[in-house]
Every structure is written in C-alpha cells, then in structure tokens.
Amino acid sequence: MEVDTLDRRIVHALRTDGRAGWREIGAVLGISDQTVARRYRRLRENAGVRVVGIPNPIRLGYEMWTLRLHTAPDRAIPLAEALARRGDTGWVSLFSGGTEITCQVRIPAHADREALLLQRLPRTPGLISVSAHCLIHQYVGGAVGPDLRDDALTPAEIAALTPPDGPQPQDIPPSPLALTPADEALLEALGRDGRAGYTELAAATGWPESTVRRRMRELRRSGALYYDVEVRPLVFGFSAAVMLWLTVAPARLAAVGAALAGHEEVVFAAATTGATNLMATVICRDMAAFYRYLTERVSGLDGVDRVESTPLLRHVKQLGPAVPSM
C-alpha cells in the first residue's frame, strides 16, 4: 500500500489526539469527516495503523525492564508469540537473524523481580540465554516527547488538535496512581482500540458511559493514560529499524541521552542497568541511511565507548495487544 500526504496528515493528527472526532480532524485538515473515517479504515486495514491507549508505567508505579533472549532459530517465533500473549509485556520483537528476542516487561515497583521476570518465562528447551535491563531514565518515546518525524501538520493545526484534557501538572499525583479492576478493564479495552466507543467501554467496565468519560479525562489529565499510533514503518518508507545498545561513560550518559532525543531517527531511548547502559530504537530509510547515521551522528557523541546494533526483523507485539500479521 502507498500512503500519500493526506494519509500522513491524518496519522499526525491522530498522534496529536488519538480520540479526536472525525469531524474535528476534518475541520482542521479541510476535508470531510467521511473522508477522514474512510482513510483511517483504509490505513488500519492495509497499513497496520491503529490508535492505542497506553498506561504510563511511570505514573502507575511500575518498573520497566527490557529482556534480551537468545534462542535456537526454530524456537524464536513460538517463544516470542508466548511472550506477546502476556499482559505485562509492552512490546515483543525479533532481531538478528531470528535468534534474538527483545521484549519490554512492566512489573510493580518492589515486586519479586526474579519471579515476575524470569520464572514466568515460557519453558522452552531452545532458550539459550537471558539478560535483564531495568530502564532507569527515559529520554524519548512513548509518553516522553513526540516523534520528531511528525511534520505533516502546521503548528497552528497541531495547536487546534491538541486535547484540552492532556496531562496537567496540578493533576499529576505525587505518588503512583492506584487502579481499580474497572480501570484495568478500561485500559485493556483501550489497548485493543484507543478509539473504542463509550458504549463498548461501558460494557467492558460495567460503568455508565458518563463515568467512563469522566474517568478517561482523569487518567489522561493525571498522565496515567496517553494515546499513540501504531504503524508499520515499511509502509511509510522506512525499511531499516535497528536497536542500538550503547556503552557510555557515566559522566556523559545524560548528555548522550539528551542528544539522541534530538535525533529524528531515534524513536525511543533510555538509560538502563546492565553491561550496556543506554538503549535506543533507530528507524532509517534504509541500511545506507543507517550507516550514515551511525558514522556521522553517533560516532561524534562524546562519551560513547561501544555500540552494538541489532536489526529488527519484525514486531510480534508493538504498542497494543498482538494482532494477526497482515
């Protein structure tokens, strides 16, 4: 499928406010609401585009861990699919010739880390090694900063679509927000479809629609809930997605992380524990562009001692629950 300028403008609008109405988006873009709805359906069906409601682990008191698992080639896909079915995994991806799986796991702070991270791993004879890296600071990605490639809208259009119920400093609690079982059901439903209707969400939670609307506003204003758009980079012309594992001098870690956050090629970057102390997801047009990025931009960062790169083969789970491959 080919995407055009209007498709990109609609995706940018949805990144700005994932639950903006079709009429609202159409008014800002100068097209009809029917056109917006039709384009979104086409993008969802043919390009894997979907809006996802995502809980912010920082606001909910979770630790985020990245697991790197090395397997026998014939065991990688079954293990990745098993990990994707877990409710505590944020994303699951296959790297490096199909023998490495990287996934992100969220666990409550001060929980039994070994039990939740390692003992719950699917039992498989093909699992060769596991390393666990705790994310200790996030520089960009998710709830932290926009995708710098989102440039299809003008500043005025972005301002017109920016939701009024976004995170408000006065509404962000000093301690983690406690969720009720109905909150969990709400977030699960929004994880499947961030644009789910209030009737559907009311059925999932057992709340009246008015309560659903109020609670969604509260979660959003407190920063506990945000919306993102899941896409397939290849459809938008980006064929080289690579995970970088960097070893950085501690005194330069903050500066290198901040520099990566300013690179449009970087969609995620975080400081971690482990033998490497900074990880980043880089998306480029092709491997030639990745080579230029690596040699011209990363190589010039003071304090970077070592870089390991692992090319992405495919996402088994991206932002929301896994969906069948198209």
Per-residue three-class SS string for 172-191: CCCCCCCCCHHHHHHHHHHH
Q: Which two tokens stand for residue 277?
A: 């102390």
* Number of CB atoms found within 10 A of residue 155's CB: 7
The distance from CA 30 to its chain's CA centroid, rounded to whole angstroms, is 29
**Residue 164: per-residue pLDDT:** 81
User: Taking the alpha carbons of 108, 113, 116, 121 in that order, is the dihedral positive or negative?
Assistant: positive
Pairing mode, strands 266-272 and 278-284: antiparallel
- Mean local confidence (pLDDT), 23-43: 97
- Mean local confidence (pLDDT), 108-125: 74
CA distance 296 to 284: 14
Q: What percent of the chain has pLDDT over 90?
A: 64
Residue ranges of domains in the chain, CATH in brackets:
140-147+232-317 (3.30.70.920)
The distance from CA 154 to its chain's CA centroid, rounded to whole angstroms, is 24
Check whether 325 has a pLDDT greater than 50.
no
Q: What percent of the chain has pLDDT over 70?
A: 93
* Number of CB atoms found within 10 A of residue 134's CB: 16
CA distance 136 to 172: 20
- What are the pLDDT digits (tens) for 169-207? 666 667 788 889 999 999 999 999 999 999 999 999 999
Specify whether the CB–CB gap between 320 and 52 falls below 8 A: yes
Check whether 324 has a pLDDT greater than 50.
no
CA distance 10 to 36: 7
Q: Residue 112 — very low, low, confident or very high, per pLDDT cuts 50/70/90?
A: confident
Element (H, E) at 268: strand 266-272
Give the CA distances from residue 59 to residues 105, 175, 271, 301, in Å, rounded to whole numbers and listed in that order: 16, 8, 18, 31
Of the candidates 117, 122, 107, 106, the one whose C-alpha atom is nearest the C-alpha of residue 71 is 122
- Mean local confidence (pLDDT), 99-117: 83
User: Taking the alpha carbons of 308, 312, 313, 314 in that order, is the dihedral positive or negative?
Assistant: positive
Give the CA distances from residue 47 to residues 41, 285, 313, 315, 321, in Å, rounded to whole numbers and listed in that order: 10, 17, 17, 14, 17
The distance from CA 191 to its chain's CA centroid, rounded to whole angstroms, is 11
Check whether 69 has a pLDDT greater than 50.
yes
pTM: 0.86
Specify whether the CB–CB gap between 82 and 110 falls below 8 A: no
Specify whether the CB–CB gap between 289 and 255 falls below 8 A: no
